[in-house]
A and B are shown apart, each in its own frame.
Chain A
Amino acid sequence: MRLSKKVRDGMSSLLKIIDLHVSVEDKPILHGVSLEIRQGEIHALMGPNGSGKSTLAYTLVGHPKYEITSGSIEVDGTPLNELDPCERARKGLFLAFQYPVTIPGVKVSDFLRHAVTNVRNPERKDGESLMPMREFRKELKQKMEELGMDTEFARRYLNEGFSGGEKKRMEILQLAMLQPKFAILDETDSGLDSDAVRVVSEGVRKLSGPQMGVLIITHHERLLEYNVPQFTHVMLAGKIVETGDAALAHELHNHGYAQIRERHPVEAAEEQSRQNRPETVGVATAVAK
C-alpha cells in the first residue's frame, strides 16, 4: 500500500487503535482500547502494574503471543493486524522494549546495519545489499556521541552483559538510527540513574519532532518533563479509563491511582478480581463480557 499523495506531501500520518481486544494464551487482557496518535504528538500512557500497558505495546508491534480477538490497528487507514513485526517496523512502528533481550554473538553494529537498511528500504529482499559501511559507521558514530555512548558498544554483542541502564540507552540509540513514524517507549526511563534519565529524556526530546508520534509508557515524571505530553491516558484493567493533558500525569504522580479507582469502580473491581482469581480462563472471560 502506498501512502496517499496528501500524506506524502506533508500531512502527518495517523496511528489509529480501534476498540482493541487482546488475549494472551486465551486469557483476555485488553478489553477495548481506542487511541489515536498523530505524527508529531506526544502521548503518555500510565496505569498501575499489570493494567496492560506492555500488552498494548507488544500488540502494536505484532508479538505473535498477543492475539487480537477483535478491533484493529491502522496506519493512515491501512490495517496492520495481519502484518508481521518486520512489516510493521518497515511501516514505521518502533517499540523500545521494557525488557530488551540479549542476542549472543551478534554485534550491535551488524544488527543495526541490517535494521537501518531494512527500515529505510521497506521493499528490500533478504540478501540484497546493505547500507554502505562507511556511511553507516559515520552515522552510527555520530548518533552514539550525541547520546553520550561509548562507541565501543558498537562492537559488543547485542545487550550481552549490558547493565539495565545500558540496555535502555541501546534502545534509544536504535530509535535514533531508525527514526520511526511512531515510537512506543515502554518504561525506557526505569532502571536508570538520574544522570541517565536526563540523557535519555534529552535524547527523546531531540529525536521526537513533527516527524515522530510518541507513546510514552512510564511510572516517573522526569521523561515527561522533558517531553511534555499533549495527552495523558490512564489504563486500568485493560481499558483506557481517562484521558487528559499533562496535568493528569502530574496528578497521578502526586496522588497515585486511588482516585482513579474510585472514579472507575467497575474496572477497579475487575483489577481486583484479576489479582485474586485462580488461573481459570472461564472466570476472566465472564468478567470481560
Chain B
Amino acid sequence: MSTEAPATPEIGVGDYQYGFHYGTEDYVFRGRKGIDRDIVKQISQIKKEPKWMLDFRLEALDIFFQKPMPKWGGALSELDFQDIFYYVRASDKQETSWESLPDDIRKTYDRLGIPEAEKKYLAGVKAQYESEVVYGSLQEDLANKGVIFTDTDSALREHPELFREYFGTVIPSADNKFAALNSAVWSGGSFIYVPKGVQIEFPLQAYFRINSENMGQFERTLIIVDEGASIHYVEGCTAPTYSSESLHSAVVEIIVKRNARCRYTTIQNWSNNVYNLVTKRAMAYGDSLMEWVDGNLGSKLTMKYPAIYLMEPGARGETLSIAFANHGQHQDAGAKMVHCAPHTSSRIISKSISKGGGRASYRGLVKVENNAHHCKSNVVCDALILDSASRSDTYPYIEVDQDNVAIEHEASVSKIAEEQLLYLMSRGMTETEASAMIVTGFIEPLVKELPMEYAVEMNRLIELQMEGSVG
C-alpha cells in the first residue's frame, strides 16, 4: 500500500489507457451459477488437474452437501448457494467499470491516496496488480534461497509432491461446511515453502505475486515453514475491496515446524454485500511460534476464528485481532487455541469496535487436552461501543482436561468517556476527530504490530469510518 499524496480525483477519464474494456462479452469460460458435481468437474478439467485433486474436490462436495449450516455465529439464511458463480477464470473476469463502483468506495480510495493502478485492482476493475519491478528482484532473491512463493494452482502443477504431502492436512474438508465448500471449488491463493533455516527478513506480500488470482472468492493458501525458518506473510489490504460476488470463503493452512516462526497478517475490508466465511488454521511444532494478526472491517458478515494447534512442547501461539463493525455489518471474529502438548502457551488479544448499529462479536476457544500439563493461556478482549444502536458480544469458551494449567481471561466493554472527549475537544478537535483519535488509540496496541504502511492506512480508515462517510 502506498502512503503517497492522493492521486487526482479525475478517475475514469483515461481508463482506456490501461486497456480496460467494459462489458466483457467474449469470455471463454464463466461457468454458470449454482453448484453441483458438473461444475466441480469442469473447474478441475479447465485447470488440468491430476485425478487425485478431482477426487478430493468431489469428496469435499459431498461433505458440503451433507453438512448443515452452522446455527451459531451470524445470520446465514439469506445466503443462496445456487445463486453464486463458483468459478470465473482470471483472464475472463468480469471487469467492473470505474464509474459503476459505489461512490463511497471511490471516495475512500481517493482519501487513502491509493495509486491509480492499485485502485483499479482493488476495485475489481483490474484482475491483477502490476508490480513486476518489485516482484522480479524479490522473486530472484527468494528463489536463490530455495523459497517457493507462487499461486496455489501453479504449485499443484510445479511442486506436486510437496503439495500433496501437506494439502488438506491441517484443515480436512470435513472440518466445517465452508471448508468443505472451499475444498470443492478452490481457486488461487498463495503457496509458500520456506526451507530449513531460511529467514525471510521483510514481510512478504500477496500482491507481489503476479499471474494469479488474488483475493479470489475461494482462495486456498498453504504455507510450510520448515525447521528453524521464519516468515511474515501479509495479505489483504485496508482499502475497501469491492466485490460483485457475495460469498467469499477462503481456507488458509499453515505448518510451522520445530523452531520455526510464522506471522500471518491479514487486513480485510470487503464491500458491504459480502459474506466472508474463512477457515484459518496453523499447526505449530516444538518451540515454534505462530502468530495471526487479523483485522476485519467491512463485509455484511464475517465469520473468522484463526486457530493454532500447539502440537509439541515449547510451541507458542498468538492471535491479535481487530474488528470494526459499522452500519449493516456483523463481525463474528475471534480465535481458537488448542493445546495438544505440555508446556505450550497461547495468547489472544482481541479488540472490537461497533458503531452505527454494527455488531461485533468475539468468539474464542481455549482448549487444553488432558496430557497437556503446564500450559499457559492468556485471553484479553476489549470492546468499544460507540453508540446505543450498536452491539458487542463475547463468547469465550474454555475447555480444560488438565488441572496443571494457568488460564487467564479478561474482558471489558466500554464507551468513549465524556472526560476524554472533552479533553480532546478543548484542544480544538471536532467531536468526530476526537472520537476517531480515541478509537485509534484503543486499537493502537494491535495496529503497531502491522507493517508501517498498513498501520498508516488503518488509522486513516478509522478516521473515515468515524466520519460516517464510509458505509
Residues of A within 8 A of B (CB): 61-65, 84-86, 88-90, 93-95, 97, 100-101, 103-106, 110-111, 114-115, 118-119, 126-127, 157-158, 174, 178
Known contacts A64-B422, A126-B433: A89-B428 contact under CB 8 Å: yes
Q: Is the CB of A103 within 8 A of B429?
A: no
In the complex, what's the smallest C-beta–C-beta distance from A235 to chain B, in angstroms? 21
Q: Is the CB of A105 within 8 A of B423?
A: no
Q: Is the CB of B430 within 8 A of A86?
A: yes
Known contacts A86-B425, A90-B428, A178-B427: A106-B440 contact under CB 8 Å: yes
B interface secondary structure, majority: helix
In the complex, what's the smallest C-beta–C-beta distance from A95 to chain B, in angstroms? 6
Interchain Cβ contacts under 8 Å between A and B, 20 examples: A62-B425, A62-B426, A63-B422, A64-B422, A84-B425, A84-B431, A88-B426, A89-B427, A94-B426, A101-B417, A103-B437, A104-B442, A105-B442, A106-B438, A110-B437, A114-B433, A114-B437, A115-B429, A118-B429, A178-B428
Contact flags B380-424 to A (C-beta < 8 A → 1, else 0): 000000000000000000000000000000000000011110111
Q: Is the CB of A100 within 8 A of B441?
A: no
Give every chain A residue within 8 A of B434 (Cβ-Cβ). Answer: 86
Give every chain A residue within 8 A of B429 (Cβ-Cβ). Answer: 86, 114-115, 118
| Residue from B111, B424, B431, B444 within 8 A of A105 (CB atoms) | B444
Q: Which residue on chain B has the smallest CB distance to residue A159?
A: B423
Q: State A85–B424 Cα separation when bound (angstroms).
A: 9
A interface secondary structure, majority: mixed
B199 within 8 A of A: no
Give every chain B residue within 8 A of A84 (Cβ-Cβ). Answer: 425, 431
Q: Which residue on chain A has the smallest CB distance to residue B444?
A: A105
In the complex, what's the smallest C-beta–C-beta distance from B265 to chain A, in angstroms? 19
In the complex, what's the smallest C-beta–C-beta distance from B412 to chain A, in angstroms? 12
Q: Is the CB of B111 within 8 A of A127?
A: yes
Give every chain B residue within 8 A of A104 (Cβ-Cβ). Answer: 441-442, 444
B443 within 8 A of A: yes
Q: State A6–B443 Cα separation when bound (angstroms).
A: 48
Give every chain B residue within 8 A of A63 (Cβ-Cβ). Answer: 422
Q: Is the CB of A106 within 8 A of B444?
A: yes
Q: Which residue on chain B has the smallest CB distance to residue A120?
A: B428
Would you list the 4 A-B pairs with minimal beta carbon distance, nearest first? A105-B441, A105-B444, A118-B428, A106-B441
Q: Is the CB of B445 within 8 A of A105?
A: yes
Give every chain A residue within 8 A of B424 (Cβ-Cβ). Answer: 103, 111
B97-147 residues at the A interface, CB under 8 angstroms: 111
